[in-house]
Structure 1
């Protein structure tokens, strides 16, 4: 049975970190998509209510109702600005998460490459040992035959 090498432990740890970074990245993508959808929805509401106000103004809108619409549109614009900032923050977190995931993947790939190289080196050493043992066995057999003859 092969013993567990330190590089194996490091590779497992790197794999675990890369998997966790991938999970975080997926959550960040979902949050970013949600923030973008909310922003789009608010912007659509703004366009709809703006168009509705224009129609009402053309039909003759009383001043108190016009002020209510104006106040509502100002509040909607403030909400859009807040959501735009939230979407920008979400995008920044997504970029950071993507960078972290890429870093963790590169780190994992490096450890896997080192582990493969080490395994190849160990295989070469093992093959040499086996060849040496086989050669020694063949030499002993030859000596035994020569001694009997």
Structure 2
């Protein structure tokens, strides 16, 4: 068995690992995008709530309503803070997974280049052997009486 043939199973394993990591990167990216969308939605809701409250406050509100508003606004601010933390963690995980994938891709390409080089060398050796055999046959034909 040639060197290139012996390396093919390893190449297959490395390529499969790289493909799995690529899929994982895509899943992490999806989580980041979903988290960012939820964060934007929370911030938009907070802004709308503040605008609505300021319109009501212009008409006059009671102490209880003001206290409820402040409590709800504090909960919204905390939800936004937590969502921002989730988004930051998802981004960090995405970057980490992306770095792993890029390394796996480099290994896969490097291994592919090695296999290609070995295959080219093996073809060259085979071609030289065939040429030598052909030359020997031709030499024997010319040497026959």
Q: TM-score range by the shorter chain?
A: over 0.9
User: Structure 1 CA distance, aligned partners of 2:74 and 2:106?
Assistant: 48
User: Structure 2 CA distance, aligned partners of 1:3 and 1:119?
Assistant: 8
1:102 and 2:98 aligned: no
1:8 and 2:45 aligned: no
Gapped regions of structure 2 (runs ≥ 5): none
User: Alignment RMSD, CA only?
Assistant: 1.5
TM-score (norm 2): 0.95
User: Structure 1 CA distance, aligned partners of 2:115 and 2:2?
Assistant: 14
Residue in 2 aligned with 1:43?
A: 43
Residue in 2 aligned with 1:77?
A: 77
CA deviation vs aligned residue, 1:62-120 (integer Å, no higher than 9, x gap): 11111111111100100000000000000001101111111111010000000010001
Secondary structure of the structure 2 residue equivalent to 1:61: coil
Are 2:4 and 2:118, in contact at CA under 8 Å, matched by a contact in 1? no
Are 2:32 and 2:87, in contact at CA under 8 Å, matched by a contact in 1? yes
User: Structure 1 CA distance, aligned partners of 2:137 and 2:112?
Assistant: 37
> 1:5 Cα deviation (Å)?
2.2
Secondary structure of the structure 2 residue equivalent to 1:112: helix
Secondary structure of the structure 2 residue equivalent to 1:14: helix
What is the aligned length? Answer: 145
Residue in 1 aligned with 2:21?
A: 21
> 1:2 Cα deviation (Å)?
7.5
CA deviation vs aligned residue, 1:103-139 (integer Å, no higher than 9, x gap): 1110100000000100010011000110011011101
User: Structure 2 CA distance, aligned partners of 1:61 and 1:141?
Assistant: 114
User: Structure 1 CA distance, aligned partners of 2:45 and 2:117?
Assistant: 59
1:135 and 2:135 aligned: yes
Residue in 2 aligned with 1:90?
A: 90
